[in-house]
A = this chain, B = another copy of it.
Amino acid sequence: MDYEEFEVLSPLDQKTYHGRFHSLVTGISLRHSDTVDVKFLLDGSPIVVALPHGEAATTIERFAGLAKRIVDCSADFRLRDPAAYRRWYGADHATPDWLGKFVYGLPELHRAELAGARYASGVGCNATVTVLALAPLAGAGLLRRVVADVKVGSSEGGAQPTAGSHHPERAGAVRSFMPTGHRHQAEIRQELGDAFELSFSVTAVELVRGALVTAHCFLSERIEERELWKLYRGRYQHEPFIRLVRQKTGIHRLPEPKLLAGSNWCDVGFEVDADSSANRVVVVAALDNLMKGAAGSAVQSMNLMLGWEETEGLRFPGLHPI
């Protein structure tokens, strides 16, 4: 079965919704496109909604009338708590009753719920890379404090040209564009709980596609690297899209987004800080923000919702060097 064989329907609005499902699968982000992917298999077939933030909330009823299953890629249905939405997005949610109907579309944390679910949200790219970096430590109750320092490429900024995306200004930039106050913190908190202190900053670097988090983790106890291996392997060994990357030599010793362009991998690695008196472990994770951080997780979630093979349409292993 192949996504590309699907027939694409756009009963709503031919101008706004034209099928780009193949693009979605190979990694041209929904969010990067100025238009929207909608895919109907048959009557009752699923819809992937990729409207700008805020618009999905106001049109969800209409989409729900058209399709049994929906994955929404915007930020509108990621948070369960209307108060959290208001705090981080600065306005009341347009359709708060719908928040509870959605599953957060990250299979690594919600696989069972996604199986057969009707509604799944998309995920924030910076949230995803951070959540996947931290989930094993958080799950084990080891985290006391985290400073998550995320480096991201220009495709995170969307498809609209701006002063900040103008090539002479953006090329070669190392720009601290969100040192505090980034909205994706809300997703991290929702998914990992509030048992640890979280600091979160995002810096734009010269790169189109990719995100890397350097998660400086301060643990409640000293932990050796082989225990970390055990912990992470235990949590992720059956995950189809997570790889543990930790080499002692070579140039690719830890995860790098450069190797992941177009793939749905999230690579995770770590290093214990031998000099730290504060039980510091640096966890490094990387992904393609347009794939695992957006469209890829959406497709992976939909696969689960439909009972398909989870990796369907997502097997591209990445391209190197680019």
Contact flags (1/0) for A14-44 with B, using CB distance below 8 Å?
0000000010001110001000000000000
Binds B, one of A111-119, A135-143, A156-164: A156-164
CB neighbours (8 Å) of A81 from chain B are none
Q: Shortest Cβ distance from A265 into chain B, in angstroms?
A: 13
Contact A203 B212 (CB under 8 A): yes
Measured between beta carbons, the chain B residues less than 8 angstroms from A205 are 151, 174, 205-207
Does chain B have a CB within 8 A of A130? no
Which chain B residue shows the least CB distance to A206?
B206
A171 touches B174 (CB 8 A): no
Residues in B with CB closer than 8 Å to A262 are: 262, 319, 322
| Shortest distance from the beta carbon of A6 to any chain B beta carbon, whole Å | 16
Q: Is the CB of B172 within 8 A of A165?
A: no
Does A317 sit within 8 A of B, measured CB to CB? yes
Asked if A312 is an interface residue, CB under 8 A from chain B, the answer is: no
Indicate if the CB atoms of B180 and A280 lie closer than 8 Å: yes
Query: Within 8 Å of chain B (Cβ to Cβ): is A54?
Result: no
Q: Assuming the A-B contacts A32-B168, A180-B273, are A261 and B214 also in contact, with contact meaning beta carbons closer than 8 angstroms in the complex?
A: no
Q: Is A185 an interface residue (CB 8 A)?
A: yes
Does A171 contact B176, Cβ atoms closer than 8 Å? no
18 new A-B contacts, CB < 8 A, other than A155-B168, A206-B207, are A28-B319, A145-B278, A147-B199, A153-B168, A159-B168, A160-B166, A161-B162, A164-B251, A166-B167, A168-B208, A174-B286, A185-B275, A199-B273, A199-B276, A199-B278, A203-B214, A205-B206, A216-B216
Task: Give 28 CB contacts A-B under 8 Å.
Answer: A26-B316, A26-B317, A28-B319, A145-B278, A147-B147, A151-B151, A157-B167, A159-B168, A161-B163, A163-B250, A163-B251, A164-B251, A165-B167, A168-B209, A168-B321, A171-B206, A174-B205, A174-B258, A180-B272, A180-B275, A180-B276, A199-B216, A199-B273, A205-B205, A206-B206, A208-B322, A261-B322, A262-B319
